């Protein structure tokens, strides 16, 4: 009985692989119906399945495959031509076999599903030409030849399935025998023990349990750790012999690690091979014409990762067909070919595999996405106004988002792209979208080659070491005091760093981790680790950075399962443990997104003022009892100057600023409530019509859009109107007037906008 079980297992594995290839072959047959090699190969695959199930007593499976074989026999003898109907029928046959096989896998029985109808259909299709022309008898010679060919073919197939998954579905026809003269009649009386024969002695590959590979992988990881420790301890040793040994150990370990890693690599085609079928079925369901092109099928990825991206990829492809590609007539009307094209591209880039799914469809509808996001409450109205097109496109990855008007059985149920995103992120990857209206969209997945060993940056915070995956780090900046590189600034309670003219949201690691800050290190000596996650950048302030190291990721115990901020832990060269910080979660927990909204409207377009009701306003404290708002479009920079840097030229305050002279305007005095000492050093640099001045304020409070109860003011210099923000009355400043005030003070000094910025 045990032998029977082993046989069954082999049968299941081989059949499943065969089915995947079958799908692919049927589809290529559809595009080149004259390809005899393909027909032969399909025939052989079916025949193998049939042969074994006769042996294992699976009658239902046998009758289905038998019917399919009959039909294929007709195709092979060219009494019947390949057409769409036949392909569909044969694909149905594949599904039927799949159903039965999975039922056998679960219950060891064929299941209750009935395929009589399918069998009848298959046979009817096969019968069609027979009614017209009579089948011919085979001579003895021909039968013998056929047998020989069959045996050869079986062996070729065995080889092909043995070396799978490396074998690509298109590689077997080269050994296919010339079978022009075969006729369907003899095929039904094929001797079945043929399929049991195994090629002896020449196998160059073998099946290995994945668990064993995982175990080897772990051991290799341990060895790497031990090696790191040995290298560290022996650094100072003088013994030449010993040093030679450690070097040898170092080398061998690296090679071993690489080798073990390779055993787990699989070509991406193992998942891609099912897409031609998916695309075909979907395009028929959607009544669209879609062509699929795939490049870089041979790109290799770790097995676990291949499995992890299977569902996300399927989802993306489905979405591209359902939402992306337009109906044929709409395409023609837009001057595109009726047939849409989906391109899948895979390539390796550093330690990553990049997978792109490109469609030439309609592209994303920005307005619709914005509207839908508002409807679903995913974003606030003011946020919607200020978001860039790219940011809006990224909303499709937000949970609970869908633009499909009607829910189809393909997509549009609102669970989708967010699941894609989260499952890709779970394996340390990223997903992004680029889309142009009318030209299509590109979805880009960035997947790490392997999960187990990653390069990481070691840093310390509050006297403790942490590791951050290097893939997310773009640069390291020492805070320093030099204005040339950048400086620390605050908007409200939020820290920012001005890096090469851009505001970078900051977070302090010790605050996020709620640990005591290291007081012995001054702010200037601390380092900002600039992190880029999905195009959103933020800085993490840490005490010190050390080195980069290849670390082995070890999972944390169940007791710490709730702490998603840690991606795991690792053992460093000195035997100490360092926690690995997940930058994605870190940014999310720190609510860095909110911080980004404060600067989400770059002050680039210095054009005229837009309707003030919808504009973003910077709220500042002018005196202890006056709050004011400045249109953000006029705001160039937020600065904080030490008071002693401020100089006076003929009763006007100025400051040397970025190689020019900046005129300071005392806002309180301008709007008629002078008398308070300006202590904070906060300056809002505003510009209008080519002139720039600095407005002295007490504090910078917030950026908002929620301005209500606006009441215009007449005859009050420097103030346009009053309004209410967050329950408090504020004065909307007349920037033009204030700039003129400044310019009137020392006209010859007012800086040119271009020079100052």
Partner 1 sequence: MTEQSNNPPQQLVTFTTGEYSFGIDVLEVQEVLKHQQMTFVPLAPEEVRGLINLRGHIVTAIGMRERLNLMNCSDETEEMNLIVSLRDGAASLVVDAVGDVITLDPSRYKPRPRALKAPLKEMVLGVYESETGLLLHIAPEVVCKVCEEEKRG
Alpha helices in 108-139 (DSSP H): 116-132
Place of tokens 């880039």: 349
Tell whether residue 225 is a contact of partner 1 (CB under 8 A): yes
The Cα–Cα gap between 325 and 285 comes to 13
The Cα–Cα gap between 588 and 591 comes to 5
Is residue 317 classed as helix, strand or coil in its secondary structure? helix
Site for partner 1 in 578-597 (CB under 8 A): 578-579
Contact region for partner 1 (CB under 8 A) — 29-37, 143-151, 180-188, 558-566?
558-566
Q: Which string of b and e fits 326-343 if b means at least 16 CB within 10 Å? A: bebeebeeeebeeebbbb
* Of the candidate residues 200, 201, 557, 608, the single one contacting partner 1 (CB under 8 A): 557
Least distance from C-beta 558 to partner 1, angstroms?
6
Say how many C-beta atoms besides its own lie within 10 A of residue 628's C-beta.
Answer: 24
Tell me whether residue 140 or residue 516 sits nearer to partner 1 (CB atom). Answer: 516
From first CA to last CA, the distance across the chain in angstroms is: 83
* Of the candidate residues 565, 590, 592, 653, the single one contacting partner 1 (CB under 8 A): 565
Tell whether residue 717 is a contact of partner 1 (CB under 8 A): no
The region that residue 406 occupies, defined by phi over 0 for left and psi between -120 and 50 for alpha, beta otherwise, is beta
Find out whether 5 and 31 touch, Cβ atoms under 8 Å: no
Least distance from C-beta 510 to partner 1, angstroms?
9
The Cα–Cα gap between 22 and 42 comes to 6
Give which of 646, 756, 601 is closest to 691, Cα–Cα.
Answer: 756
Site for partner 1 in 444-473 (CB under 8 A): 464
Tell whether residue 203 is a contact of partner 1 (CB under 8 A): no
The Cα–Cα gap between 252 and 259 comes to 10
Contact region for partner 1 (CB under 8 A) — 250-258, 434-442, 509-517, 656-664?
509-517
Least distance from C-beta 559 to partner 1, angstroms?
5
| Paired sense of beta strands 464-469 and 577-581, if any | parallel
Tell whether residue 556 is a contact of partner 1 (CB under 8 A): yes
**For residue 465, cis peptide bond before it (omega within 30 degrees of 0):** no
Tell whether residue 233 is a contact of partner 1 (CB under 8 A): no
Site for partner 1 in 31-70 (CB under 8 A): none
Least distance from C-beta 508 to partner 1, angstroms?
13
Least distance from C-beta 494 to partner 1, angstroms?
21
Least distance from C-beta 566 to partner 1, angstroms?
8
* Of the candidate residues 569, 635, 731, 756, the single one contacting partner 1 (CB under 8 A): 569
DSSP characters over 428-489: T-EEEEEEETTTEEEEEEEEES-SSEEEEEEEEETTEEEEEEGGGEEEEEE--S-TTTEEEE
The Cα–Cα gap between 506 and 525 comes to 16
Tell whether residue 566 is a contact of partner 1 (CB under 8 A): yes
Tell me whether residue 313 or residue 578 sits nearer to partner 1 (CB atom). Answer: 578
The Cα–Cα gap between 458 and 685 comes to 38
Tell whether residue 554 is a contact of partner 1 (CB under 8 A): yes
Tell whether residue 598 is a contact of partner 1 (CB under 8 A): no
Least distance from C-beta 4 to partner 1, angstroms?
34
Question: Residue 484, Cα to own-chain centre: how many angstroms?
Answer: 36
Instruction: Please give the angle made by the CA atoms of 457, 463 and 465, to the nearest 5 degrees.
Output: 25
* Of the candidate residues 259, 337, 350, 575, the single one contacting partner 1 (CB under 8 A): 575
Helix, strand and coil content of the chain, in percent to the nearest 5, comes to: 45, 25, 30
* Of the candidate residues 78, 222, 367, 706, the single one contacting partner 1 (CB under 8 A): 222
Token digits of residue 662: 């900046």
Tell whether residue 249 is a contact of partner 1 (CB under 8 A): no
Tell me whether residue 563 or residue 729 sits nearer to partner 1 (CB atom). Answer: 563
The Cα–Cα gap between 167 and 663 comes to 73
Contact region for partner 1 (CB under 8 A) — 113-121, 436-444, 549-557, 605-613?
549-557
Tell me whether residue 147 or residue 556 sits nearer to partner 1 (CB atom). Answer: 556
Question: Residue 215, Cα to own-chain centre: how many angstroms?
Answer: 28
Least distance from C-beta 221 to partner 1, angstroms?
9
Tell whether residue 540 is a contact of partner 1 (CB under 8 A): no
Contact region for partner 1 (CB under 8 A) — 117-125, 218-226, 308-316, 675-683?
218-226
* Of the candidate residues 407, 563, 643, 717, the single one contacting partner 1 (CB under 8 A): 563
Contact residues for partner 1 (CB under 8 A)?
222, 225-226, 464, 513-515, 554, 556-563, 565-566, 569, 571, 575-579
């Amino acid at each position: 009985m045990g032998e029977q079980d082993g046989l069954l297992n082999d049968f299941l594995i081989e059949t499943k692989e065969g089915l995947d290839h079958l799908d692919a072959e049927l589809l290529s047959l559809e595009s080149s119906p004259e390809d005899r090699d393909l027909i032969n190969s399909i025939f052989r695959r079916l025949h193998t399945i049939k042969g074994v199930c006769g042996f294992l007593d699976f009658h239902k499976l046998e009758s289905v495959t038998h019917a399919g074989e009959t039909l294929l026999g007709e195709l092979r003898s060219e009494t019947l031509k390949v057409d769409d109907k036949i392909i569909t029928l044969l694909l149905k046959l594949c599904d039927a076999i799949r159903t039965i096989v999975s039922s056998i896998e679960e219950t060891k029985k064929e299941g209750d599903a009935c395929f009589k109808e399918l069998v009848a259909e298959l046979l009817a299709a096969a019968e069609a030409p027979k009614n017209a022309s009579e089948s011919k008898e085979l001579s003895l010679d021909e039968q013998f030849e056929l047998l020989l060919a069959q045996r050869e073919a079986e062996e070729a197939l065995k080889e092909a399935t043995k070396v799978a998954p490396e074998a690509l579905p298109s590689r077997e026809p080269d050994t296919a025998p010339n079978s022009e003269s075969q006729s369907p009649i003899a095929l039904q009386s094929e001797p079945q023990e043929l399929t049991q024969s195994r090629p002896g002695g020449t196998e160059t590959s073998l099946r290995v349990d994945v668990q064993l590979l995982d175990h080897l992988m772990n051991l290799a990881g341990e060895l790497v750790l031990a090696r790191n420790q040995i290298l560290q301890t022996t650094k100072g040793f003088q013994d030449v012999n010993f040093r030679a040994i450690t070097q040898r150990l170092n080398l061998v370990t690296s090679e071993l690690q690489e080798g073990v890693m390779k055993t787990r690599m699989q070509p991406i085609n193992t998942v891609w091979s099912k897409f031609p079928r998916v695309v075909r079925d979907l395009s028929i369901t959607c009544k669209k014409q879609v062509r699929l092109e795939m490049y870089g099928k041979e790109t290799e990825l770790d097995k676990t990762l291949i499995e992890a991206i299977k569902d996300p990829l399927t989802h993306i492809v489905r979405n591209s067909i359902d939402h992306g590609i337009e109906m044929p007539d709409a395409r023609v009307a837009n001057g595109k070919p009726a047939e849409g094209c989906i391109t899948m591209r895979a390539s390796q880039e550093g330690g990553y595999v990049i997978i792109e799914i490109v469609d030439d469809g309609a592209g994303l509808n920005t307005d619709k996405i914005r509207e839908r996001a508002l409807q679903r409450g995913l974003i606030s109205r003011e946020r919607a106004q200020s978001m860039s097109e790219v940011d809006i496109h990224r909303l499709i990855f937000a949970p609970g988002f869908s633009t499909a008007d009607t829910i189809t059985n393909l997509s549009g149920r609102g669970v989708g792209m967010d699941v894609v995103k989260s499952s890709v992120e779970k394996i340390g990857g990223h997903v992004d979208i680029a889309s142009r209206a009318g030209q299509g969209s590109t979805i880009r997945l960035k997947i790490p080659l392997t999960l187990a060993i990653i390069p990481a940056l070691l840093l310390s915070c509050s006297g403790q070491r942490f590791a951050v995956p290097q893939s997310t780090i773009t640069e390291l900046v020492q805070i320093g005091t030099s204005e040339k590189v950048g400086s620390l600034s605050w908007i409200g309670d939020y820290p920012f760093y001005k890096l090469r003219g851009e505001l970078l949201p900051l977070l302090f690691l010790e605050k996020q981790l709620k640990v005591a800050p290291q007081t012995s290190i001054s702010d200037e000596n601390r380092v900002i680790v600039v992190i880029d996650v999905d195009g959103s950048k933020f800085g993490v302030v840490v005490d010190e950075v050390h080195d980069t190291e290849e670390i082995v990721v070890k999972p944390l115990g169940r007791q710490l399962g709730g702490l998603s901020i840690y991606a795991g832990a690792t053992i460093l060269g000195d035997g100490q443990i360092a926690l690995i910080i997940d930058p994605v979660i870190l940014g999310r927990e720190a609510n860095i997104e909110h911080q980004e909204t404060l600067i989400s409207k770059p002050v680039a377009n210095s054009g005229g003022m837009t309707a003030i009701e919808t504009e973003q306003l910077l709220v500042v404290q002018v005196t202890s009892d006056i709050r004011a708002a400045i249109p953000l479009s006029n705001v160039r920079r937020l600065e904080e100057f030490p008071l002693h840097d401020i100089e006076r030229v003929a009763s006007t305050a100025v400051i040397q600023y970025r190689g020019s002279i900046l005129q300071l305007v005392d806002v309180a005095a301008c709007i008629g409530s002078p008398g308070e000492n300006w202590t904070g050093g906060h300056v809002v640099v505003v510009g209008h019509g080519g002139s720039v001045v600095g407005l002295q304020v007490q504090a910078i409070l917030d950026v908002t859009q929620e301005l209500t109860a606006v009441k215009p003011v007449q005859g009050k210099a420097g103030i346009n109107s009053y309004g209410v923000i967050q329950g408090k009355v504020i004065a909307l400043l007349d920037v033009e007037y204030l700039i003129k005030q400044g310019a009137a003070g020392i006209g010859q000094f007012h800086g040119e906008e271009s020079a100052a910025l």
